[in-house]
Structure 1
Amino acid sequence: MQYLEEFLLADDGHEIPVRVWRPKRVNQILVIVHGMAEYSERYAPMADWLTEQDIAVVTLNLRGHGMDCEEQELGFFAETDGWQRVVKDIHKTLEFTREELPEAPITLLGHSMGSFLVQNYIQTHHTELNQVILCGSNRVDKPKLFVSQLLIKLLITFKGKTSTSKLVDWLSFGSFNRKFKPNRTDYDWLSRDPEQVEAYTLDPFCGFSCTLSFWNDFIGGMRAINLSLWPKQLKIHLLSGSDDPVGEFGRGVSILAEQIKKQGLNLQTFKVYPQARHELVNEINAVDIWQDIRDLVINESI
């Protein structure tokens, strides 16, 4: 297995940190878009395992995330059009992947916020993608998001777009831990594996507060998602945990699955893992989930 670190130059001069796990023989490719307040190297255990199955793994660190990001830039996408710039970074990463690993089919996986970026990507970039896997995702509640964005814009007026807000953090995540009382940490909702939760809690590049500008970009990007623009032929796989608060404990993600079906899109898989929480690939049954992702990548049912 060969491990590579690359920096791709975006159109605006931003350097996109890309990581590549490359087996000797590449049969399939998985490109991963990570979630909010985390980074791509956290997927290394799964990537190492997948390379043993002749699957190459490519990740990118999103703007404002990861160890290559300056501390003052954590949780900030860009001065303008942050969401759109990140979507373009994903496209640049996929172009790089095709150049480095030609002819092997690509699956694009997005986790949590990454799943919403992937949803936006597939409606704006009709590429040669074979399929997408959406993990830890949810429906898009546009009326609720409209109100949230009004609050964010009001706070930006008074505090500035590079400021953070404890109120916004509480409104976004304050209820996530309630089901898991008594709580050992603020992040028990991420996984049943205490070691994974502890590692997240101690990691300075995880769990940081994001800027008001970031939240405005994120919510605006979610509001722009339009299932009618998704390509009909693209295979869609939806994976969630029954105890994932992001997916409204199965309710919201089930609504998303129904919306995808009603739109006549190619929903191949909808699987909810009993008692699993938000970070499926870091759960106590992580290897079982890695195996499912492998099977989807190589076009086998799970």
Structure 2
Amino acid sequence: MLHEVSFLSYNQRDQVQGWIYVPACQPKGIIQIIHGFGEHSRRYLHMIAHFVEEGYIVSADDHVGHGKTAMVNGIWGDWGDKGCHTMMEDEHSLKRITQEKYPDLPYFLFGHSMGSFITRDFIAKYGDELAGAIICGTAGIFRGAHETAEKIKQAIDAGKGKECDPAFTNELMGWMCERCGEVSIGNEWICADPYVQKDHAEDPFDAFTKPTSNRSLYDFTQMMSCIEGTKWASLVPSRLPIYNIGGDQDPVGEYGKGIYEVSNWLVETGHHVQTKVYSGYRHEIHNYPQIKDEVEQGILDFMNSNL
């Protein structure tokens, strides 16, 4: 069964588009998938199908400025003017809608890349509502974010918040192919598989190649500032199980360093964290044909052990 849902964003402007995938069996739990910057939730269809086949309801949406939400509202690359918690609050709205339809089931979050930042923000505020959280392709201290944020803020204060300056995007993300060898598309850092790169680059629902407004890029930097260090980790309920996964060739996670930074912040504040780093793989470990089944099975094993 598939439910298509639409709800008003926290930004009070956009109608967020979402989907709830339901297995044809007694569900054992719910997992909500939170996608990353510039992409959309249907890039996770392999994962969604696997989880549904294993008896989980899967809930997912496309963020404001992204995917079908951007298409329906006619607004790409701008997330509104309500600040850096907008997407996190939208994910909480989707959780509420999903649980109204399917109450009393263990509820998990999976967030990849920016989705992992959103998940980390979510568990600091709403972690008591969850049975567990999976963060994938996350960052510790995101390289250059604080310095770039100061420049973006100056542009916003000068009245250029709704404009799009590609120089800011380049400062935040333009370095990510530094270990990829020959670069032709610019997204090689996500995955070494050329078919995944091509699919990502040519996807009409993908916002990665579309300009992002200055105020939204600033919100992106502030989202990361909210989830740094033991100050953030201490806000996460200590009883919440967390599974932290990524690749050691992922620039977002500083080639493994950032993944362990996040796990160490959590351990230092009394949390139980499982950490799994896949050697030799870049950002989207769940899209490598060699390991995607293994990655998804690891997530299932984590959820099954915390039902």
TM-score of the superposed pair, with normalisation by structure 2: 0.90
User: Are 2:191 and 2:287, in contact at CA under 8 Å, matched by a contact in 1?
Assistant: yes
- TM alignment of 1:1-302, pairs within 5 A: 2-10=1-9, 12=12, 14-25=14-25, 26-70=27-71, 73-79=75-81, 81-140=82-141, 145-158=145-158, 160-206=160-206, 207=208, 208-225=210-227, 226-267=232-273, 269-284=274-289, 285-299=291-305
In 2: Cα distance, 1:22 partner to 1:72 partner: 29
Indicate conservation of the 8 Å contact 1:37/1:205, yes or no: no
**What is the CA-CA distance between 1:205 and the residue it aligns to?**
3.1
- When residues 271 and 294 of structure 1 are mapped into structure 2, their CA distance, relative to the original with a 3 A threshold, is same
Could you say what secondary structure the match of 1:82 adopts?
Answer: coil
Q: 1: CA distance between counterparts of 2:9 and 2:75?
A: 17
How far did residue 73 of structure 1 move?
1.8
Provide the secondary structure at the position in 1 that maps to 2:84: helix
Kindly tell me the number of residue pairs found equivalent between the two proteins.
296
User: What secondary structure sits across from 1:298 in the alignment?
Assistant: helix
Whether the aligned pair in 2 keeps the contact of 1:77 and 1:83 (CA below 8 Å) is: no
Q: In structure 1, how many angstroms separate the alpha carbons of the residues matched to 2:56 and 2:193?
A: 26
Instruction: Give the deviation of 1:43 after TM superposition.
Output: 1.0
User: Given residue 286 of structure 1, which amino acid in structure 2 is its aligned partner?
Assistant: K
Once the two structures are TM-superposed, the CA of residue 189 in structure 1 deviates from its matched residue by 0.8
Residue type at the aligned position of 2:248 = S
2:148, 2:171 within 8 Å by CA — same for their partners in 1?
A: no
1:53: Cα distance to partner? Answer: 0.9
Q: Which amino acid aligns with 2:3?
A: L
Q: Structure 1 residue 10: deviation in Å?
A: 4.1
CA distance, structure 2, for counterparts of residue 30 and residue 111 of structure 1: 13
Structure 1 residues 194, 263: closer, same or farther in 2, change over 3 A? same
SS in 1 for 2:133: strand
CA distance 1:28–1:165, change in 2 (3 Å)? same
Contact kept in structure 2, 1:108 and 1:131, CA below 8 Å: yes
The SS at the match of 2:129 is coil
Percent identity of equivalent pairs: 26
Distance 1:10 1:170 in 2: 28
RMSD: 1.9
Deviation readout 1:12-33 (Å, 9 max, x if unpaired): 3632211111101211211011
Deviations 1:48-93 (A, max 9, x none): 12211111111011111112314852111112x2322222111111
Instruction: Report if aligned partners of 1:277, 1:283 keep a CA contact under 8 Å in 2.
Output: no
3-state DSSP class of the match of 2:70? coil
Q: Measure the CA separation in 1 of the matches of 2:164 and 2:189.
A: 22
- Mapped partners of 1:108, 1:230: distance in 2: 14
- SS of match in other structure, 2:198: helix
**29-38 vs 221-230, which moves further:** 221-230
CA distance in 2, matches of 1:159, 1:177: 32
Matched position secondary structure for 2:58? strand
For residue 276 of structure 1, give the secondary structure of its aligned residue in structure 2. Answer: coil
Contact 1:133 1:237 in 2 (8 A): yes
The residue identity in structure 1 corresponding to 2:224 is M
1:220 counterpart letter in structure 2: Q
In 1, Cα distance between the equivalents of 2:127 and 2:49? 30
Distance between the aligned counterparts of 1:229 and 1:53, measured in 2?
Answer: 32
Distance 1:83 1:266, change over 3 A: same
The answer to whether the 8 A contact 2:134-2:244 is kept is yes
The answer (yes or no) to whether the contact 1:191–1:276 under 8 Å persists in 2 is: yes
Sort the Cα spacing of 1:299 and 1:184 in 2 relative to 1 into closer, same or farther, 3 A: farther
* CA 1:43–1:141: 2 relative to 1, 3 Å: closer
- Structure 2 distance, partners of 1:223, 1:133, is 20
